[in-house]
Structure 1
């Protein structure tokens, strides 16, 4: 259950009204300052999980930008590991010769083992910081390169004690659509005891135009893979106009189409753990919006004395504020928006939910995830 803060509310008055304590509300909602609330802010109220709640699988992509995961990254993952089925350190980029870029996971494997979380080898066609269609073509068509990818991937998996391989190949040329499927079929034959999963672009039709979509054949990929992660986010993105990152209507449209091509119990909903702060007036690419966590968004609303509004159609919170003579617009996630996604997940009987990515704090999500679902462990 959620409560939306009104003028004159305090955490103490809300706690008293609902028979709990301000300290409990602060803990559940990750509030650093119990004395400052924002009008329009959603507060999660404590609840006892339903013993008959459905079981799902959950995944967290873990990304870092240093040689070894920092203590901050490690701590963020440790804090949520109890709510995870899978952990996907992002990522091993495949080189032109089929070898993999090195990765130092730090203590992520130990955290996974302590919490019965399955680690996963993630493979990408990223080259020089961007997804490469020509690299993907080389991986799919050069037999020597392909064989090295198979061997190196299984070697890394054995080294890290996992039998799960995940591909995130994006911006594949339409001509390579069937080659991607064949690549995965051959990969499965090479490593028959492994689980195979993949990330897919958010499509609403089989022949949807656009570079992100055309290389992904939902039906064929669904047949060869154990499960897929549909990237149901980035409608609002850093280079686009201000809007919800994952508005419920488009998310529903994508997932309803997906389960016509792939069994629902093979489909994971992708979910962003971040929002964006746009500078107005919007101009394409100038400047790009800044990614922020829900916690940062709420702190920003506090600091700028901005009331939070909620878009009922998108099922997402937003607010506007001014800084240095410029207006800003912020869209993010809160208890209401994530509960709407959980409800859709249940309605469509999906396998589970996959979060991008670990660098953003969203305590309400993890509390509500546990209250709404049982998380399967491997």
Structure 2
């Protein structure tokens, strides 16, 4: 993905894709080849390679998932209706009804039609780290087919309410030309990470707060952004009311110039649950912003224990709470498009973040098998590095992304 920001790269989705044709999910078996799979599903190896971004067809991994065009699933050994239903985010009852089955017993080679969800329009975007003009053009050309908006990452607010510069702002015009609505992403990042003390200083001082708001309005007006995405993270619970006021004032100011305000907020399952995220008032922030971006990822983070980045149960709980207090058409779902690689032998090291494609490459070289947790709806694998240390890698694939947008 070249210079798309891997550590923070997310696709933000509101609705299932409208331009995706009927497809099923297939899990690669020990003896599979791309040619054999294509024969079984009456398609071509080239099409499967293109759809799934496979660089080397000779290195398919047992446990790897593939998206295959069509709505028929061919039963393999050890398949069951429960497994097939869970893979495709449907129910046994729906499969039985669609295929007029007299029982839940299936046999190898049997072809079953898989219920397909209603296709609707999608509003999708990604955070974007500008690079060289040539690479910016390549990315805009490639991703304009899949995205409708991008958040230029990132402008940093300082202690006085002033904003840092951003290299590659010439790409803003290009984004508009390619049909990608550009937003400026504003953070409270410093060299130490997301700085809660910096955010408090800005929010608690009305003069600094107003300076920041005016600078944001000027940025949007002069650079021709559609609006801003406020990504203030690690806010202190005591700053809840101050943050609400800031977003309300910012929204009123942006409306005067035709700009929009989006707010990135951490995953919560209740008004103040968990307590350490209680600075984020879902209902109030949803009222005074044009859209809310749910950071539904990083339940297991680089500095913590190995595990699913976005376990489906917690994601569901966050979505259910969000839609109970925020209009659903304002909510964007954050989907992590990266892997975390934890060295479980050397506990002192933070996990390395890299692309899904690199995860598959490492698995092919050092693991030879990909596992899948139905409980977490996430793939994972283990391997030993050259020093003999045991690593554990969790990432996302076609199976795990389907529950998020279905």
Interval containing the TM-score (normalised by the shorter chain): 0.7 to 0.9
Checking the alignment, whether the CA contact within 8 Å between 1:87 and 1:119 is kept in structure 2 is yes
Greater CA drift, 69-78 or 109-118: 69-78
Q: Which residue pairs with 1:196 in the alignment?
A: 261
Q: Which residue pairs with 2:82 in the alignment?
A: none
Q: Which residue pairs with 1:2 in the alignment?
A: 25
Return the TM-score normalized by structure 1: 0.83
Q: Which protein, 1 or 2, shows the higher relative CO under an 8 Å CA cutoff with sep ≥ 6?
A: 1
Cα distance in 2, alignment partners of residues 106 and 178 from structure 1: 33
Cα distance in 2, alignment partners of residues 249 and 52 from structure 1: 23
Render the CA deviation track for 1:13-56: whole Å, top value 9, x for unaligned. 111111221111111111111222111111111359x9961123
Q: Which residue pairs with 2:156 in the alignment?
A: 93
Checking the alignment, whether the CA contact within 8 Å between 2:254 and 2:261 is kept in structure 1 is no
Greater CA drift, 15-24 or 332-341: 15-24
Q: Which residue pairs with 2:384 in the alignment?
A: 322
Greater CA drift, 99-108 or 214-223: 99-108
Structure whose alpha-carbon radius of gyration is higher: 2
Checking the alignment, whether the CA contact within 8 Å between 1:306 and 1:320 is kept in structure 2 is no
Query: Are residues 21 and 107 of structure 1, via their aligned partners in 2, closer, same or farther at CA, if it must alter by over 3 Å?
Result: farther
Q: Write out aligned runs for 1:1-378 (5 A).
A: 1-47=24-70, 53-63=119-129, 68-69=131-132, 71-72=134-135, 75-105=138-168, 108-192=171-255, 193-211=258-276, 213-281=277-345, 283=347, 286-323=348-385, 324-343=387-406
Query: Are residues 71 and 243 of structure 1, via their aligned partners in 2, closer, same or farther at CA, if it must alter by over 3 Å?
Result: farther
Render the CA deviation track for 1:278-323: whole Å, top value 9, x for unaligned. 112363xx11111121111111111114211111111111111122
Checking the alignment, whether the CA contact within 8 Å between 2:227 and 2:254 is kept in structure 1 is no
SS in 2 for 1:39: coil
Cα distance in 2, alignment partners of residues 317 and 268 from structure 1: 23
Checking the alignment, whether the CA contact within 8 Å between 2:149 and 2:181 is kept in structure 1 is yes
Checking the alignment, whether the CA contact within 8 Å between 2:367 and 2:382 is kept in structure 1 is no
Query: Are residues 71 and 302 of structure 1, via their aligned partners in 2, closer, same or farther at CA, if it must alter by over 3 Å?
Result: farther
Checking the alignment, whether the CA contact within 8 Å between 1:78 and 1:111 is kept in structure 2 is no
Q: Which residue pairs with 2:75 in the alignment?
A: none
Structure 2: runs of 5 or more not aligned: 1-23, 72-115
Cα distance in 1, alignment partners of residues 215 and 272 from structure 2: 33
Render the CA deviation track for 1:52-76: whole Å, top value 9, x for unaligned. 6112311201136xxx457556534
Q: For this pair of structures, how many residues does the alignment match?
A: 336
SS in 2 for 1:240: coil
SS in 2 for 1:56: coil
Query: Are residues 290 and 220 of structure 1, via their aligned partners in 2, closer, same or farther at CA, if it must alter by over 3 Å?
Result: same
Greater CA drift, 78-87 or 11-20: 78-87
Cα distance in 2, alignment partners of residues 216 and 187 from structure 1: 16
Q: Which residue pairs with 2:80 in the alignment?
A: none
Checking the alignment, whether the CA contact within 8 Å between 2:159 and 2:202 is kept in structure 1 is yes
Shift in Å, 1:110: 4.1
Render the CA deviation track for 1:215-249: whole Å, top value 9, x for unaligned. 11111111111110010000121111111111111
Structure 1: runs of 5 or more not aligned: 344-378
Cα distance in 2, alignment partners of residues 337 and 278 from structure 1: 20
Greater CA drift, 27-36 or 156-165: 156-165
Checking the alignment, whether the CA contact within 8 Å between 1:241 and 1:282 is kept in structure 2 is no
Cα distance in 2, alignment partners of residues 25 and 107 from structure 1: 36
Return the TM-score normalized by structure 2: 0.78
Shift in Å, 1:341: 0.9
